[in-house]
Amino acid sequence: MICPKCLAEIPDTSAFCMECGARIKEDALDPLYAEGSDREVYPELARANLLRMQGNYEEAIEVCRRILGRFPSNETVHALLGDIYADQGKYEDAIQWYELLVELAPSNAHYMAKLHNLRAMHAAQVAPPPPVAEPEIKPARPKAFAYALFGLLVLILAAASFVAGARMNTARQSAAEPIKSAQGAVSSSSPAEPVRIPPPAPVDTSPAPTPSPAPTMGFAGMSAVEASLAQKLSQQLNGTPVWCAFDPMSHRWQARIRIQSGVLNKSRVLQEAIALARAFYPLYPDVSNLSVAVVAPSPNGGDVLIFSGEINPQIAALDPTTLNEEQTQSVLQQLPAWWNPAINFQG
């Protein structure tokens, strides 16, 4: 059989190319995650992802480059490098890695959607700011024009005062005769009826009704408090998607995290679940238990639930990166959890 990426000859039973690490065929038992060459470099992939979660980007990039030196067509390493550069806001570098990834797996809809989102974020980052309009400066009028206008106004006011005074004198003279002739009639007639003033209308002093506040909701069906907690947890986990929900009947918190790429095994799932709980308990130290769910992308679209368990503060206090294989198996046996039986976990 010939590798379609590097044209190397490989055995018919091989699941990946020994020369470049490219996938040759999908795993018929587990179509969700075809491992390819990931099994050969899983410890390095796990260490690079952990360094990324801790913010040690340069060390994570160095580990990924060493893997590419052995398997240049490994899809998981390309996706991880793209995510590392995206976490730092270096969208041009992230786009280049995802473009190479789409060339390796052109039928993968998840890779195409991630590349589209990176291009949109890069376009928003380099968009020029809107132009600022300069204030219009009006030319100053000459002082001579202002003096002439002021003199004209003075003349107009003087003429208006003279005309008004003449009219007032004429009106007083014409009104004097009727007043004198009417004095006798007014003195002999009955007194005039007083004018009745209606009482003022009563003022309504009752307080105005206060409108009830509209409920405030967050995004994706979460309330404002749930969305705020999900955002804080996602920031501590380097942007990994997180959803939160609070059940008022049982007075318990639930949190869900999404694994986006990489090898799917129980040790990896346990690492993600404990990392989520370690970020939660410092924010809510009085909570005695946290219900954690882990989901992964499905090839048919949407997400599939792969793990659900109860993680208490004692388990959350463990650092999964320091546990050896025996200690990890001991934690898995003590942890009350549900594992999706339809998923073929790699170990």
- Condensed to tens digits (0 to 9), the pLDDT of residues 93-117 reads 999 999 998 998 888 888 899 999 9
- Which pair of tokens denotes residue 122? 């890069």
If you average pLDDT over residues 189-197, what whole number do you get?
Answer: 49
**Contact at 8 Å (CB) between 38 and 74?**
yes
Q: Please state the φ and ψ torsions of residue 40, each to the nearest 5 degrees.
A: -70, -30
347 in any annotated domain = no
Full domain range(s) for residue 287:
224-339
Mean pLDDT over each residue of the chain, to the nearest integer: 76
Structure confidence at residue 247 (pLDDT): 84
pLDDT at 186 over 50: no
Least confident of 4-13, 174-183, 206-215, 253-262: 206-215
- Which pair of tokens denotes residue 238? 């380097």
Nearest to 298 by CA among 30, 29, 24: 30
Residue 68, burial from CB neighbour count under 10 angstroms (0-12, 13-18, 19+)? middle
What distance in Å separates the CA atoms of residue 19 and residue 37, rounded to the nearest whole number?
10
242 in any annotated domain = yes
This prediction has a pTM of 0.41
pLDDT interval class at 296 (50, 70, 90)? confident
| Residue where one domain finishes, among candidates 75, 97, 125 | 125
Q: DSSP letters of 11-33?
A: -TT-SB-TTT--B-S--SS-TT-
46 in any annotated domain = yes
Distance of CA 343 to the CA centre of its chain: 31
For the chain, the domain total comes to 2
71 in any annotated domain = yes
197 in any annotated domain = no
Half-sphere exposure of 232 (CA within 13 A, CB side): 16
Tell me the pLDDT tens digit for each residue of 18-37: 656 666 665 434 443 455 67
| Residue where one domain finishes, among candidates 72, 90, 125 | 125
Tell me the pLDDT tens digit for each residue of 213-249: 333 333 457 888 898 999 999 998 888 889 899 888 7
| Residue where one domain finishes, among candidates 125, 152, 183 | 125
Q: Hey, what amino acid is at 146? A: A
What distance in Å separates the CA atoms of residue 75 and residue 95, rounded to the nearest whole number?
14
- Which pair of tokens denotes residue 127? 């968009």
The enclosing domain of 280 has a CATH number of 3.30.70
pLDDT interval class at 84 (50, 70, 90)? very high
Who wins on pLDDT, 301 or 223?
Answer: 223
325 in any annotated domain = yes
65 in any annotated domain = yes
Structure confidence at residue 342 (pLDDT): 81
What distance in Å separates the CA atoms of residue 223 and residue 72, rounded to the nearest whole number?
45
- DSSP structure class, residue 317: T
283 in any annotated domain = yes
pLDDT at 3 over 90: no
